[in-house]
Structure 1
């Protein structure tokens, strides 16, 4: 009975009360990003590109230790493609709307921690932090917007007081 009651509180983000249809733009933009980046993780080029982030991360460095550079990239690729699938299914099923948005938010929370663990984020030539390098600093900073998009979808997928939208 509890799961049925909780299921009733979930909704497809862009089909919630009021005019939330614009959230579909966020959903499908995230889908494209996760499909593209997820597929790229199966290339040696991308595996080498993400290796410095993974190797120095206290959260995901175990992937590199356990699977090596390409194996860790494969695991991340599978997770990213699964996130894309959940976001796609979330356009039709409330449970997946929540799951996909939560997976997306978790991804960007983790990647934002790379600011603290990746070498070269602070630009020494400009005086160090808060000046950030073009790569990897500015590359990582865009994840702040992607986290916000993910959280918007997540919060809109769960009915609650934060959706203070009047019904017409």
Structure 2
């Protein structure tokens, strides 16, 4: 029984001391997610897929040439190519905006990760990650496609998330992680300031 208690206490001691490792793993997770998703923004299918979110957002719709809900006529399935619809997306600035967004997302991921080595860079990255995830979560209010549509089954609307909605709601975990990383980076910056005073 004592050995079991001793093992339990040792496990708790290790778990209690692993906070810094956990924070660094959050940084690595944000790096992987942001660089991967940001990189995908250079592919047409991904650029076309974010159109409903951007077109309906009061914060981002001005990046596009066309107004919502015109995009509904030009939706493409992932991997589908239609020359007329592709041309509409070219005119709409779908691809240009997506590539710019991709660069921003990848930059945020890299800055957040670099917080392991530089608290100031980590602070900037985490702050930007928080702003970005709040923007993404705003799609739950602005984008009709995040809720199951009324197609006759009787199951539709809030709280029934569509595939797009389930994708968006996951950003609550990224937001929480970014806040933890922001706090850790802020502590690091404060420690640097105290050393210079």
Q: For this structure pair, what is the TM-score category when the shorter chain's length is used for normalisation? A: 0.7 to 0.9
Note the C-alpha offset of 1:141. Answer: 0.7
Alpha-carbon distance between aligned partners in 2 of 1:18 and 1:24, rounded to the nearest angstrom: 10
1:139 aligns with 2:167: yes
1:120 aligns with 2:139: no
| Equivalent residue number for residue 108 of structure 2 | 83
Larger RCO: Structure 1 or Structure 2 (Cα < 8 Å, ≥ 6 residues apart)? Answer: 1
Structure 1 length-normalised TM: 0.78
Deviation by residue 1:99-149 (Cα, 9 ceiling, x = unmatched): 11111111110000001111122224424212222x211111101111111
| Equivalent residue number for residue 181 of structure 2 | 153
Contact 2:30 2:113 in 1 (8 A): no
SS in 2 for 1:158: helix
1:44 aligns with 2:44: yes
Alpha-carbon distance between aligned partners in 1 of 2:170 and 2:36, rounded to the nearest angstrom: 16
Structure 2 length-normalised TM: 0.67
| Equivalences for residues 1-168 of structure 1 within 5 A | 19-65=19-65, 68-123=93-148, 124=150, 125-133=154-162, 135-159=163-187
Note the C-alpha offset of 1:89. Answer: 2.1
- Give the length in aligned residue pairs: 143
Task: Determine which structure has more spread, i.e. the larger CA radius of gyration.
Answer: 2
Large movers: runs of 4+ above 6 Å: none
Note the C-alpha offset of 1:18. Answer: 8.7
| Equivalent residue number for residue 10 of structure 1 | none
Alpha-carbon distance between aligned partners in 1 of 2:65 and 2:114, rounded to the nearest angstrom: 33
